[in-house]
Homo-oligomer: A and B are copies of this chain.
Amino acid sequence: MSKARAYTNIALIKYWGKRDVAEMLPYNSSLSLTLDQFYTETSVDFVDQKEDQFFFGSEAQPVSPKVKRVLDRVRSLSGRDQAAVVKTVNHVPTSAGLASSASAFAALAVAASAAADLQLSQRELSILARHGSGSASRSIFGGFVVWHAGVDDQSSFAEPITETVDFPIAVLAILVDQGRKKVLSGAGMQASVETSPFFSAWAQTAEQAIPKMEKAIANQDIAEIGALAETNAMQMHATTLSADPPFTYFAPETLKIWEIVREIRTKGLNCYLTLDAGPNPKLICQLQDIETITNYLQNRIPDLTYTLCRPGSGAQLVAK
């Protein structure tokens, strides 16, 4: 039995759209920050039984096609022919509103490959995790991470820009809606790819934003990091609004938070909003401004629910 832990990440330049659905290749490179406040722990054991088993907490669940795909690749790479018992637990602050597939599949990749006695490099783990969920390729690493779109299976992997965890950045994950997403991210990106006339311009613009973001990170320029991230996030959401039929992940409360974020900027503070395929915004701030910003937000929204996140570390094996 091997057990691994991986943290979630927030994309500053988004992954949105699969160029190759079978191989899980994206249209554009993406760039993220691994966070320290939400992780998945997953154990894998290869045993002599007929079928794979999956437990979410103590609850047995069907083995999803994505989990099966990762397990099959591990069996194929290792020559093993056994079934896997997978047990996974999400450690998520109730207030986070953060996605779990990135941490889940990064943890699965690390645990399953170790359980099969594979000696994979970090890059090979990133490629393996990608087959479960694109964004999981980035959660293999800590800090700022870039996922190169690549052109085939072996060239589409993530790597760290910096493992630095004392970067003076903070992410406020705000919960506006705990309900299940109405349009799942996979279906949403597929609808954008197939029906938005803006999609090809999106992919090209996102790719061009990668070196700009890398430069802003190298300069520790949090205002520029935030501005680039907000612009990129809204461009991603513009591909849903321009789809046919149009749809949006914004909730009314998301727009309200964005209005307040812009107010905060008029006070001379760096505060920028990013958003994935759901209504819960994440604010990108300087660590030193966090108290001022949370006070301002709570003053405007008395029942504000949020989690303060900082840069987190990469996926790791915690038991073997």
Q: Once the chains bind, are A204 and B197 in contact (CB under 8 Å)?
A: yes
Name which of A234, A241, A255 has the most chain B CB atoms within 10 A of its CB. Answer: A241
Find the B residue at minimum CB distance from A248: B255
State whether the Cβ of A246 lies closer than 8 Å to any Cβ in chain B: yes
CB neighbours of A244 from chain B (8 A): 231
Q: Once the chains bind, are A230 and B201 in contact (CB under 8 Å)?
A: no
A residues 220-253 near B (Cβ < 8 Å) are: 227, 230-231, 234-235, 237-239, 241-242, 244-246, 248, 250-253
Q: Once the chains bind, are B245 and A256 in contact (CB under 8 Å)?
A: no
State whether the Cβ of A202 lies closer than 8 Å to any Cβ in chain B: yes
State whether the Cβ of A295 lies closer than 8 Å to any Cβ in chain B: no
Q: Once the chains bind, are B205 and A201 in contact (CB under 8 Å)?
A: no
Cβ 8 A contact of A255, one of B231, B239, B255: B255
CB neighbours of A198 from chain B (8 A): 198, 201-202, 235, 238, 242
Q: Once the chains bind, are B252 and A242 in contact (CB under 8 Å)?
A: no
A35-66 to B contact mask, C-beta < 8 Å, 1/0: 00000000000000000000000000000000
Q: Once the chains bind, are B231 and A235 in contact (CB under 8 Å)?
A: no
Determine the distance from Cα of A245 to Cα of B202 in the docked complex, in whole angstroms: 15
Determine the distance from Cα of A205 to Cα of B198 in the docked complex, in whole angstroms: 9
A283-310 to B contact mask, C-beta < 8 Å, 1/0: 0000000000000000000000000000
CB neighbours of A245 from chain B (8 A): 227, 230-231
Determine the distance from Cα of A235 to Cα of B231 in the docked complex, in whole angstroms: 17
Find the B residue at minimum CB distance from A230: B246
Q: Report A156 CB to chain B, min CB distance, Å.
A: 23
